[in-house]
Amino acid sequence: MAQRGDLTVLHEPFCNLNDYGETDVGQRTFDSPASLLAWLTATMAAYCTTVGLPFDPRALTWEPGEQPEWRRSARWHTDASNSSGFERRERVYRHTVENSEKLARYAAHHRPFYEQLFAQRMDVTPWE
């Protein structure tokens, strides 16, 4: 998780729960997979309402298996292919933003784009 001011970039939030015992999303702290999943579900419901789509919680689960459109990048989708929904996974990365100058440069380059997206974010508070 990278944080700067009010911006939180969260990648693999369930891994953060596993590694640190909690994970922050904006001003919220989650200390269990169930609480994070409940919030993510509320967020998806709010998004669907905002854009005029029906929300179906079954869309948050799937049948395990590789998707044809993933074949070219199958190694990036191994966990998703072997799962049936959102779940906690343990990860240890050899190279991180903290120990790799190259990744730190990538993060610095992409930060303005995330900041622009954050500035235009949808407020899901009314749906919680």
Q: 103: pLDDT confidence band, cut at 50, 70 and 90?
A: very high
Here the tokens at position 43 are 């967020």
Per-residue confidence (pLDDT) for residue 2, from 0 to 100: 45
pLDDT of residue 102: 94
Residues whose CB is less than 8 angstroms from the CB of residue 44 and which lie 6 or more positions away in sequence, other chains included: 55, 59, 60
The pTM for the full model equals 0.53
For 111-124, what is each residue's pLDDT tens digit?
A: 999 888 888 877 76
Give per-residue pLDDT as tens, 57-73.
888 888 999 888 888 88
Q: Between the ranges 2-16, 44-58, 84-98, where is the mean pLDDT highest?
A: 44-58
Q: Are residues 89 and 15 in contact, defined by beta-carbon separation less than 8 angstroms? A: yes
| CA separation for the pair 52, 22 (Å, rounded) | 33
How many helices (H) and strands (E) would you count in the chain? 4, 4
